[in-house]
A and B are shown apart, each in its own frame.
Chain A
Amino acid sequence: MGLLEFINFYLIPGIVLGSIYALGAVGITLIFAILRYAHLAHGDLATLGAFIALAIVTSAGISPLAALPFAIVATAVVAVGIDKVFYEHLRERPKIITVIASLGIALMIRAVVQVIWGVDSESYVRGISRPDVYFGLRIRDREIFTVLAMLGLVGALYVFLKQSKWGKAMRAMSDNPNLALLSGIDNRVVIMLTWIIAGGLCAAAGVFLGINTEIKSMMGWHMLLPMFAAAILGGVGRVEGAVLGGLIVGITEELSVLILPGEYKAAMAFVILLFMLLVRPTGILRGKVL
């Protein structure tokens, strides 16, 4: 196998897939770090984002990339709403209660998507797009957009967390909630911000998955486990870790067919994860140990 073939058919798809995982994993890692539970409705929230974008694309006749900001805002609103209506009351209860609640939310979101949009496979743009060739590298526009958008969104989030007042408050909550609360940080604002960011990134993950493949009612649920693996792999609470984790999971999944039968592709994320937990439980970039 030539180097170009390796890059074109294994590495590039892995990076694109990894970027989509990364967008979801960042949200998961933030919720893990600040709210301290595993949010199982994350995948279905991404599905909802993808379908909201689809509704905008078909009704307004714009490209999916133009619809992306609207989908991000709409999904962020939904995420905050879900938190207010369902999760907020459970804040003082053991975290397992919220984990189970989020499972119920996943069922509810999926049901809403299936009732409104049906269960058929949809795509944003009909037809196929063959890749352009740059110096032997076969890349599609939408793949470049996916990776760039991921880097852009996560980069902006990174700067926000490092520089802004509220970003620092979020990191403080993640590091030591009691201390953060003592120093006068408004818990409610931090939690709302977390949901806005997580919801928005969810929508982006869903839309980019939809742009690169199809939009289906089960698409998010299928992505949930790899996204969790990516978040933990990178180190809980570390945004850049989630990106790294997402890319590693995506690339290893694509490379796994070189050594394993294709049906075990889905197991790759967990094999890496188990290995990582054994040798370095904090994740690649030293994250929180829950």
Chain B
Amino acid sequence: MKTKLLAVTAGLLTATMLASAPAKADVKIGLIGGVSGPIAAMAPAMIDAARLAITHVNDQGGILDGETLVGVVGDSACNPQGGTDAATKAVNIEGVLAIVGPHCSGAVLAATGSVTVPAGVVVVTPSGTSPEISNIADNDTVFRTVPSDDYQGRALARTLRERGYDKVAVAYINNDYGTGLANAFRGEFEAQGGEIAGFAAHEDGKASYRSNLAELASGGADTLVLFDYGDGTGLTILRQALENGFFEKFVGGDGMKSDAPINELGAENLATFVASAPVGEKSASLDTFNALFKEAGGDPDAIFVTTSYDAAFLAALALEKAGGDKAGVAAALREVSNGEGEPIGPGEWSKAKELIAAGTAIDYKGAAGDHNFDANGDVPGTFALFEVGADGFEVITEMK
């Protein structure tokens, strides 16, 4: 048996060696996501969106001197152990020049703290929403294309107040995403004179939330604000709330703007459901992305796909700008998206490449916002409120 074990180990090690000898013509970026673990349902679409950006790069002349951009997928399993492991492999074995991900805030904190910041590799997370990420001592190498929870929670609260929602109950998933959104929302909603008639967290993955809903409804609110994931527990809660008539109106954060509720519950049942999500200014970029992603067989309403695409495209732009120099990526990332220069939209790689070669300043206008990074590497984010129409989600109003 010892020999067998040795054989297996040797096989794995050989695979490692093979993997560590990349073809020289490739430029690699890491796509690290929670493929297994609690957000397994969301990760594939996010990785597909990031890879669409890579496809656009390669179809339109490649990166640097026509080299192929390769996305190396790593599994963070949505926990710090997996996040650091995947980041270490991406940085050291694969030799990536930038990382898109990890998806979960806990994995972002751990991977940046122990791997990427010391190694000087730029990280752009499309979905790590925790405010703690702003505070990482990162030498300016940690960015995100998703706004911190604070922005969205506040914007949503103001928009709801303007649209006449007075008394709401809030249910949120007990993780960094739900907690952050719910607390920001509560503060702003009350400051604007609204009433929170119920406020409760719930654990992921239970089979019944009817008692939670009954408890929330007992405060007398007619609207449920739900900060959860539309293809996870959020779907279960929305279903049980609709079936039992606990609330009349439903409001979701960006996590709830997913195709799953429409597919599983039917658009006709979601007439009173609205959801917020980040969009690009005037959302021309968003429309472009939606068309492109649909063409590639993806679902543009899936969660965090716009931010994933933007993160990968921005990383590619920064690499091009920095001339493939790892140390210059962070500065380049700020230059390609600082609000000044020729606007570049999703999919416009060849145009961007020419402009960069000509030395012209460019400004990426992403599907999920303009991504003008602030000092912490955060983006302010622009949001819109969506409702369910005949062909999926449609914008009702911009949120300020």
Choose one: A17, A127, A138, A214; the contact of B269 (CB below 8 Å): A127
A9 to B211, CA, bound (A): 6
Whether B207 and A212, one on each chain, are in contact in the complex, defined by CB atoms closer than 8 angstroms, is: yes
Whether B210 and A9, one on each chain, are in contact in the complex, defined by CB atoms closer than 8 angstroms, is: yes
A126 within 8 A of B: yes
Whether A13 and B40, one on each chain, are in contact in the complex, defined by CB atoms closer than 8 angstroms, is: no
Whether A218 and B242, one on each chain, are in contact in the complex, defined by CB atoms closer than 8 angstroms, is: no
Whether A9 touches B206, Cβ cut-off 8 Å, given contacts A120-B41, A128-B243, A128-B269, is no
Interface 9-residue window, one of A180-188, A249-257, A277-285: A249-257
For B231, the chain A residues whose CB sits under 8 A away are 120-121
A8 to B244, CA, bound (A): 9
For A213, the chain B residues whose CB sits under 8 A away are 207-208, 236, 239
Whether B242 and A128, one on each chain, are in contact in the complex, defined by CB atoms closer than 8 angstroms, is: yes
Interface residues, chain B, with chain A CB atoms under 8 Å away: 36, 38, 40-41, 43-44, 171, 174, 200-208, 210-215, 218, 231-232, 235-236, 239, 242-245, 260, 263-266, 269
Specify which of A5, A9, A122 lies most central, judged by the most chain B CB atoms within 10 Å of its CB: A9
For A129, the chain B residues whose CB sits under 8 A away are 243
A84 within 8 A of B: no
A78 CB to nearest chain B CB (Å): 22
For A219, the chain B residues whose CB sits under 8 A away are 205, 207
**Total count of chain A residues near the partner, CB < 8 A:** 48
A141 to B214, CA, bound (A): 21
A114 to B44, CA, bound (A): 11
Whether B265 and A17, one on each chain, are in contact in the complex, defined by CB atoms closer than 8 angstroms, is: no
Give A1-42 interface residues, CB cut-off 8 Å to B. 1, 5, 8-10, 13-14, 16-17, 20
Choose one: B44, B214, B266; the contact of A119 (CB below 8 Å): B44
A114 to B205, CA, bound (A): 17
A85 within 8 A of B: no
Choose one: A1, A138, A216, A261; the contact of B218 (CB below 8 Å): A1
Report the nearest B residue to A266, measured CB to CB. Answer: B203
For B232, the chain A residues whose CB sits under 8 A away are 121, 216
20 pairs from A and B in contact (CB 8 Å cutoff) = A9-B210, A9-B244, A13-B211, A14-B211, A114-B40, A121-B41, A121-B260, A122-B264, A126-B263, A138-B244, A140-B243, A209-B207, A213-B236, A219-B207, A250-B208, A253-B208, A255-B211, A258-B215, A262-B203, A265-B212
A118 to B35, CA, bound (A): 11
Give A88-110 interface residues, CB cut-off 8 Å to B. none
The A/B interface has a contact count, at CB < 8 Å, of: 119
A73 to B203, CA, bound (A): 33
Whether B201 and A263, one on each chain, are in contact in the complex, defined by CB atoms closer than 8 angstroms, is: yes
Report the nearest B residue to A5, measured CB to CB. Answer: B214
For A1, the chain B residues whose CB sits under 8 A away are 218
Whether A119 and B40, one on each chain, are in contact in the complex, defined by CB atoms closer than 8 angstroms, is: yes
Whether B243 and A217, one on each chain, are in contact in the complex, defined by CB atoms closer than 8 angstroms, is: no
Report the nearest A residue to B174, measured CB to CB. Answer: A263
For A130, the chain B residues whose CB sits under 8 A away are 243-245
Whether A265 and B203, one on each chain, are in contact in the complex, defined by CB atoms closer than 8 angstroms, is: yes
Whether B208 and A17, one on each chain, are in contact in the complex, defined by CB atoms closer than 8 angstroms, is: yes
A162 within 8 A of B: no
Choose one: B44, B202, B208; the contact of A16 (CB below 8 Å): B208
Whether A218 and B205, one on each chain, are in contact in the complex, defined by CB atoms closer than 8 angstroms, is: yes
Whether B207 and A10, one on each chain, are in contact in the complex, defined by CB atoms closer than 8 angstroms, is: no
Specify which of A114, A140, A216 lies most central, judged by the most chain B CB atoms within 10 Å of its CB: A216
Whether A261 touches B200, Cβ cut-off 8 Å, given contacts A131-B244, A213-B239, is yes
Give A107-159 interface residues, CB cut-off 8 Å to B. 114, 118-123, 126-131, 138, 140
For A217, the chain B residues whose CB sits under 8 A away are 40-41
B328 CB to nearest chain A CB (Å): 37
A143 to B260, CA, bound (A): 23
Choose one: A20, A140, A221, A263; the contact of B203 (CB below 8 Å): A263
A43 to B233, CA, bound (A): 18
A223 within 8 A of B: yes
Specify which of B40, B207, B208, B243 lies most central, judged by the most chain A CB atoms within 10 Å of its CB: B207
B217 CB to nearest chain A CB (Å): 8
Given contacts A126-B265, A254-B211, 19 further A-B contacts (CB under 8 A): A9-B211, A9-B213, A17-B207, A119-B44, A128-B243, A128-B265, A138-B244, A213-B208, A213-B239, A219-B205, A222-B206, A223-B207, A254-B210, A256-B211, A258-B211, A258-B215, A261-B200, A262-B203, A262-B212
